[in-house]
Amino acid sequence: MTGPVLRPSVRDDLVTLEGYHSPQVQVDVRLNTNEAPSAPPPEFSQAVADAVSALEWHRYPDRSAIALRTAIGALYDLGPEQVFAANGSNEVLQTVLLTFAGAGRTTLSFEPTYALHSHLATITGARPKRRTRRGDFTLDPGAAADAVRADRPAVTFLCSPNNPTGIVEPRATVETVLEAVAETGGLLVVDEAYGEFAPWSATTLLGEDVPLVVTKTYSKTWAMAGARLGYLLGPAWLVAKLNLVVLPYHLDAMKQAAGLAALSFVDAMTARVAGIVEERGRIEAGLRRLGVEVWPSGANFVLFRPGGSGDLVWQELVERSILVRNTARWEHLDGCLRVTVGTPAENGRFLDALDDILESPRHE
Ligand SMILES: Cc1ncc(COP(=O)(O)O)c(C=O)c1O
């Protein structure tokens, strides 16, 4: 090539974009990304291997993923036409935004919450608006509904249980926000990536004429973060629109087989979730015993503020080969850390290490 090479320029609206980062550090105990602490049962792996060995590799996968969507729908007494599946709930969210938000439209979220909601809004061309929750991280339902009426967003996000706080939105809050969303012709997305760890689900509010979708994932409940599979439950007419926008054959045949196989192991999943909820209680109680500020969690993680420098506590945990999510410098989360519920042994190690760290003279 002769002469200087002109690099193509990134879209003007993405020039200042910061990526989404979840730093990994080599440690014994990884409690930073809200994965399940144990894998699905060996029978699941065998079922997937059998299904995969029978695949017709030269053929495209079932574009409509009908078997998978039928089986997912059956979990909620819904038909396949009310289920949209994609590569992780992040791709589900992205497809919702591509279909209902995009250029010239706005989205609304209530901070602190899952960063990808506004990040995905930006990269799909919409303008994300961010309102703030109360100081205790709960949402004032009246204020949230007023914000919807004022901002008239195309898509409003709630996250229940909320990441990174763990707080479950009360049903009345979701209903109040939904009413405002319906009045203004918007769409409410309730992100329930952690919904199975919580006492109630917004799936009970779904209806063909209700502008509500609920997104879920195989990554947490089903202990299948490696599979990248998520789904949405919503009105059939809306699911049909999403299917027009998503890439053809976006769900590969192996993933469809794995997602379907998992649903034969509901009992193992339910037992795993119950174990995690029990361990979550143990972590919350242990943190309170250490005199640490803790937020009540309905998820598979707990947000806490150890006092003093959150960065220092995080570093000292890493020195003990324990990795939690360092949220200490995130907006609104000054000094906080987030710990994923691990195995009983991992949780014990985390609590002992924290006890040790907080006892040391550096933290007095
Ligand atoms: C609230 C929330 N929504 C969605 C996701 C994305 O999940 P997936 O692995 O299905 O893309 C996460 C992942 O941590 C999350 O915390």
Could you read off the pLDDT of 239-281 as tens digits, one per residue? 999 999 999 999 999 999 999 999 999 999 999 999 999 999 9
From-to residues of CATH 3.90.1150.10 in the chain? 18-40+267-363
- Residue with the nearest Cα to atom 13 of ligand 1? 193
**Could you give the strand order of the β-sheet that contains 106-111, starting from the edge strand earlier in sequence?**
83-86, 230-233, 212-217, 187-191, 155-159, 106-111, 127-132
Fold of 18-40+267-363: Aspartate Aminotransferase, domain 1 (3.90.1150)
Residue 261 corresponds to which tokens in the numbers above? 């196989």
CATH 3.40.640.10 residue spans of the chain? 44-264
pTM, to two decimals: 0.96
Give 153-211 pLDDT, tens digit per residue.
Answer: 999 999 999 999 999 999 999 999 999 999 999 999 999 999 999 999 999 999 999 99
Task: Please name the CATH architecture into which domain 44-264 falls.
Answer: 3-Layer(aba) Sandwich (3.40)
Q: Which of 20, 30, 92, 116 to mutate to test the pocket of ligand 1 (most atoms within 8 A of CB)?
A: 116
Backbone angles phi, psi at 106, to 5 degrees: -120, 160
265: Cβ below 6 Å to ligand 1?
Answer: no
For the CA of 229, the nearest atom of ligand 1: 10
Is the CB of 234 within 6 Å of ligand 1? no
- Whether the pLDDT of residue 364 is over 80: the answer is no
Other CB atoms within 10 A of residue 187 CB: 23
Look at the block and give the residue holding tokens 């729908």: 73
User: Closest ligand 1 atom to the C-alpha of 159?
Assistant: 1
